[in-house]
Amino acid sequence: MASVPVLEIRNVSKHFGVIKALTDVSFSLDRGEIHALCGENGAGKSTLMNIIAGVLQPSEGEILLDGAIVKVTSPAVAQSFGLGLVHQEIALCPDATVAENMFMAATNRRRSPFMNYGRLEREAQAVMNRLAPIDVRGKVSDLSISSQQLVEIAKALTLDCRVLIFDEPTAALTESEAQVLFGIIRDLRAQGISIIYISHRMAEIFSLCDRVTVFRDGRYVSTEKVADVTPEDVVRRMVGREITQLYPAKQAENERSGETILHVSGLGDGARFRGVNFELRKGEILGIGGLIGSGRTEIAEGVCGLRPTIAGEVRLHGQIMQARSYADAVRAGVVYLSEDRKGAGVFLDMSIAQNIAVLDLKTLTGPTGLLNAKAEAALAHDLVKRLGVRMGGIDMPVSSLSGGNQQKVAIAKQLAVNPKVILMDEPTRGIDVGAKSEIHRLLRDLARSGIGIVVISSELPELLGLCDRVLVIREGRVAGEVEGEAMTEEAIMRLASGIGHNNSKASEHAA
C-alpha cells in the first residue's frame, strides 16, 4: 500500500485580479523527502508556498494533510499544523535582537504573560549555533544580509515543524554557510520531516533533493526523481525550450581600447577598506570577487558616494568625481545596484513605472517641474521589455512582482539614467537561469556600447563566465587580479582566502 502523502495540494488556483499566478496545480509531498520546486521567475512557486503557510488563501482548490482536507486560514493556523516557511524575502524586525526575532512567532503562539528572557536567549543561541556563530543578543540591523538570512532560517528551526519550506534560502549565503544549511536539512529529513526546497541553482537541487517538481507560467509541468533526470532536463521543462549558451562571448582582442572609464586610486574609508586601486576600461566587464564581508560592497559604496571616504580619489573619464552623496554620483553618471533589494533596491509600495523613473526625475520632469507621466510610462515600457519583467502592468506595485522580477526592476531603475558606469552588487541573485543569461547578454551589450560595468558576485561561475577580468578583495584591500587563462575558480579562491598565493599568473598587488 502506498503511504498517504504528508501534504497534498489539489487543483489549486490563485488569481490576483486579472493575474493568474497559479492555475489548477497539484503537488504532493512524502514523509521524509526533500522535494525541489523549480520554475522561472514568476512561475508561481512563492505563491503556492504562501498558500501552504496560510499567508495567502487559494482562489480554488484544497490542501490535505495526511489525507484530510484542512483550511489554512492564517500563518498561526499553519504553525499549529506544523507547516513552516522560510520566506524568500528577509522579513525581520531590524530593531529587535536576533533572539527576539527568532521567538516572535513562538511567543505569539504561547501567549504567556511571563517571558523568561534568559531562557529564551539560551534556547535561541543553541539553535543559532547549529548554523553560525551569531550572537543572538545583537540587533538584527547590525547584521549582514547573509547573517540575516541565517536568522530567518534559525527562526524556522525553533518551530516544531512536520513540513518545512525553504524559499531560495541560499540566495544570500556564502558557499560554506550553504553547506552547513544542507547538513541541517539532511538531518531534518532523517528525523522524518518533509522539506520543500526552492532554488534556481541546479547544483544544489541535484546534490540535496530526492524529487523535483517543475512549474511553468503558474501551471504544474512535471514531478520526477532527481536521479532520473539531468539539470538540462529540468531547465528545459522550466523554460519550455533548450538553453544552450549560458554566457555571452567575452570582449575580443580587437575591442580593447585601453581607454580608462573609471580610475580609483588609494581609496579608503578609514575602517573597512584602504589603498584600493583599480581601473575600469572601456568595453570590459570587471568582476569583483572575494568572501562575503571582505569589503567589496563597502568599496562600491565608497566609489559612488554612499559611504564617506577619507583617502584617495575616483576619476571618471579623467575628471575627478567628487561624490559627497549618492545623488552626486548619479548626476555624474555612476549608479549602484544594491545587494539589498528590499532595503535599498526598490520601493515596494510604489509602482513599477515610478520605481524605474525614480533616479531619472530630472529629465522626466523637464523645465516645468511637473512629472511627465507619458515619458515615465514610455521609459518603463522600454525597460521592462528589454529585461523581460513578468508583470500585470507598469502601474502595479513592485510588491506584486515575484522576487526575481523585483530584481529586474531594480536593474531597470539603474539603466533608466543612461549611466556611464554601473556598479552591480550580486545582480543576478534570485534570477532564474533563463533570465540570468538574458541579463548577462544585456550587460555585455551595454559594455560594448561603452558603459563601464563592474559586477560584484559571490558566484564564481558567474565571475568567470561573464567578466573579462576579476579583481579579488581580501580584508578591505585588493588582493590581486586575474585575467584570461589565469582566471580560474581556484585562483580566485586562493586570492580571496589568502592561502598559498602566487603560483598562478595571478598578480599580487603590493600592500
Ligand X SMILES: Nc1ncnc2c1ncn2[C@@H]1O[C@H](COP(=O)(O)OP(=O)(O)OP(=O)(O)O)[C@@H](O)[C@H]1O
Q: Which residues bind Mg ion (CB under 5 A)?
A: 46, 88, 402-403
Rounded least distance, CB 396 to ligand X, Å = 6
By CB under 6 A, is residue 404 in contact with ligand X?
Answer: yes
By CB under 6 A, is residue 405 in contact with ligand X?
Answer: yes
Task: Return the one option of ligand X, Mg ion, none that residue 401 interacts with (CB less than 5 to 8 A, by type).
Answer: ligand X
Q: By C-beta, is 259 or 395 nearer to ligand X?
A: 395
Amino acid at 415: L
Binding part of the chain for ligand X, among 43-51, 106-114, 349-357, 364-372 by CB under 6 A, reads 43-51
Within 10 angstroms of residue 347's Cβ, the number of other Cβ atoms is: 16
**CA within 13 Å, CB half, 462:** 24
By CB under 6 A, is residue 345 in contact with ligand X?
Answer: no
When binding is defined by CB under 6 A, the residue of 46, 213, 251, 338 that contacts ligand X is: 46
By CB under 6 A, is residue 45 in contact with ligand X?
Answer: yes
Task: Return the one option of Mg ion, ligand X, none that residue 400 interacts with (CB less than 5 to 8 A, by type).
Answer: ligand X
Q: By C-beta, is 218 or 287 nearer to ligand X?
A: 218
Using CA of residue 339, residue 340, residue 342, residue 345, what is the dihedral sign?
negative
Rounded least distance, CB 25 to ligand X, Å = 11
Dihedrals phi, psi of 211, to nearest 5 degrees: -130, 160
By CB under 6 A, is residue 289 in contact with ligand X?
Answer: no
Task: Return the one option of ligand X, Mg ion, none that residue 391 interacts with (CB less than 5 to 8 A, by type).
Answer: ligand X
DSSP 120-184: HHHHHHHHHHHH----TTSBGGGS-HHHHHHHHHHHHHTS--SEEEEESTTTT--HHHHHHHHHH
Dihedrals phi, psi of 239, to nearest 5 degrees: -100, -10
Chain-centroid distance of CA 434 in Å reads: 15
Cα–Cα nearest to 218, from 27, 435, 6, 411: 27
Rounded least distance, CB 389 to ligand X, Å = 9
Task: Return the one option of Mg ion, ligand X, none that residue 47 interacts with (CB less than 5 to 8 A, by type).
Answer: ligand X
How many whole angstroms separate alpha carbon 405 and alpha carbon 408? 5
Binding mask 374-393 for ligand X (x = CB under 6 A): ----------------xxx-
By CB under 6 A, is residue 88 in contact with ligand X?
Answer: yes
Residue 172 CB contacts under 8 Å (≥ 6 apart), including other chains: 90, 145, 146, 148, 149, 339, 429
By CB under 6 A, is residue 411 in contact with ligand X?
Answer: no
By CB under 6 A, is residue 16 in contact with ligand X?
Answer: yes
By CB under 6 A, is residue 428 in contact with ligand X?
Answer: no
By CB under 6 A, is residue 41 in contact with ligand X?
Answer: yes
Using CA of residue 144, residue 146, residue 150, residue 153, what is the dihedral sign?
positive
By CB under 6 A, is residue 240 in contact with ligand X?
Answer: no
Buried b (16+ CB within 10 A) or exposed e, 75-89: beebbebbbbbbbbb
> Using H for helix, E for strand and C for coil, what is the string for 311-380?
EEEEEECCEECCCCCHHHHHHHCEEEECCCHHHHHCCCCCEHHHHHHHHHHHHHHCCCCCCCHHHHHHHH
How many whole angstroms separate alpha carbon 31 and alpha carbon 80? 18
By CB under 6 A, is residue 54 in contact with ligand X?
Answer: no
Rounded least distance, CB 284 to ligand X, Å = 30
**Size, binding site for ligand X by CB under 6 A:** 22
Task: Return the one option of ligand X, Mg ion, none that residue 41 interacts with (CB less than 5 to 8 A, by type).
Answer: ligand X
Binding part of the chain for ligand X, among 40-48, 60-68, 285-293, 419-427 by CB under 6 A, reads 40-48
When binding is defined by CB under 6 A, the residue of 7, 12, 21, 422 that contacts ligand X is: 21
Within 10 angstroms of residue 282's Cβ, the number of other Cβ atoms is: 19
Q: By C-beta, is 39 or 290 nearer to ligand X?
A: 39
Interface residues toward ligand X, by CB under 6 A:
16, 19, 21, 39, 41-47, 88, 390-392, 400-405, 432
